[in-house]
Amino acid sequence: MKFFVDTADIAEIRSLAETGLIDGVTTNPSLVAKSGRDFFDVLKDICDAVSGPVSAEVAATDAEGMIREGDKLAKVSKNIAVKLPMTWEGLKACRHFADKGIMTNVTLCFSAAQAILAAKAGATFVSPFIGRIDDTGADGMQLIRDICAIYRQYPDFTTLVLAASIRSPLHITEAGKAGAHVATIPPAVLKSLVNHPLTDKGLSIFLADWQKTGQKIA
């Protein structure tokens, strides 16, 4: 399972990239707006910090506008994945970029039927939103399971399932069990994966016992 970090905070991205544990980055207009910086400057810095896919979202709502904006975004770096909305216009643009060999991420996916369309349009990634579905009282993780099950039936579908709107470590482990290829994770949630009270307790015991020996390793 690959980990993308869901942020436009370049300092956070660089810090996490140093661990060697992240495989890419996803951004959206809201995240870029929080940075308070020029959109293209942010993208260039992110692409310099990571070697994997970097999702950059278009703002147009018509296919022609999405293609025009996506072409400009793709020129920033070879690892840009043009992020497109799950609409008919977005799917038209997705097919355009797929035919040109440019990576795409079809976002705001809330049904398995939509995910099938994304695969048919040649999307590199499809982003089902777990947390936002949970917020409606439905089961967001079931959508991940359904999409993965459908995709497994059709080897000619090359679209990767990118679990998005992740709120907790449980979302990540459950998405992994379902077969999601990628999870895009907010920095705080990603960092929390390492936490466990028994790990902290065990380390405290080991260190206390070692201190009693009076020895040093270096």
CA 154 from chain centre, in angstroms, equals 23
Pick from 171, 208, 213, 174: nearest CA to 192: 171
Pick from 171, 166, 175, 122: nearest CA to 147: 175
Catalytic choice (34, 75, 83, 201):
83
Q: Is 212 a catalytic residue?
A: no
Contacts of 30 (CB under 8 A, 6+ apart): none
Indicate the DSSP class of residue 157.
Answer: -
Stretch (H or E) spanning 12: helix 10-17
Distance CA 122, CA 99 (A): 8
Backbone angles phi, psi at 182, to 5 degrees: -140, 145
- Residue pointed to by tokens 């942020």: 7
Q: What angle do CA 79, 84, 86 make, to 5 degrees?
A: 140
Distance CA 145, CA 143 (A): 5
Q: Which residues are catalytic?
A: 83
